Amino acid sequence: MGGAIVDSEIRATGTGHTARAARARGRRRGALLGLVTLVSALLFALAAPCTAHAAASSCAGNKVRTLKFSTGKVVIYRGTGFVCAMTYAKNPGAARKMSITLQARGHRAVTRAGTFRKYAGPLSVTVSHRRVKVSGKVGSGSLSPRWIRY
């Protein structure tokens, strides 16, 4: 009979352990989900130097330079850790092919091109004390690629 009592005690204790084990598994799953989220965010942040960010109608940051060419201009803005640029048509109105290209030194070029009426962009790249190659086109006129230090 002593064995039967021990078995029932083990079963009763086992039920408590099962509930505690389930809570521990839940905590581990929550911690694992948090870790996966953190790793995903870090990987996204590391991939950011080559990604483009689109904003509503203009660039954030401070205007640092305007580069003019025959059919338009490229306006460059600088913020904390990024450079943003837009190509504006000299005579807006009619839809025409426009593009803006930015390339942080050591990274791939990022381009926004299409048929626009007023401007192409905004386009931004993440930089940290790197040179940035800028070029833009409006119709048949273009700004030849230039390396600019930020």
Rounded to an integer, the average pLDDT of 103-125 is 94
Kindly state whether residues 63 and 134 are assigned to the same domain.
yes
Confidence of residue 52 (pLDDT cuts 50, 70, 90): very low
Kindly state whether residues 38 and 88 are assigned to the same domain.
no
**Window from 5-9, 80-84, 117-121 with minimum mean pLDDT:** 5-9
Which residue range forms the structural domain that includes residue 104?
51-149
pLDDT of residue 46: 47
- Give the residue, 93 or 33, on which the prediction is more confident: 93
- Give the residue, 55 or 23, on which the prediction is more confident: 23
pLDDT of residue 53: 43
Kindly state whether residues 37 and 66 are assigned to the same domain.
no
Kindly state whether residues 37 and 80 are assigned to the same domain.
no
pLDDT of residue 109: 95
Question: How much is the mean pLDDT over the chain?
Answer: 79
Q: Look at the chain and report how many structural domains it folds into.
A: 2
Instruction: Kindly tell me if the per-residue pLDDT of 17 is higher than 70.
Output: no
The three-point CA angle 51-57-60 to 5° equals: 60
- Please identify which residue in the block is written with the tokens 């965010």: 41
Kindly state whether residues 112 and 137 are assigned to the same domain.
yes
Q: Is 16 exposed, middle or buried (0-12, 13-18, 19+ CB in 10 A)?
A: exposed
Handedness of CA 17, 18, 24, 28 (dihedral sign): positive
Kindly state whether residues 65 and 121 are assigned to the same domain.
yes
How is residue 87 written in tokens? 């190509």
Q: CB within 8 A of 11, min separation 6: which ones? A: none
Instruction: Kindly tell me if the per-residue pLDDT of 136 is higher than 80.
Output: yes
Whether the pTM exceeds 0.75: the reply is: no
Rounded-to-integer distance, Cα 70 and Cα 98, Å = 13
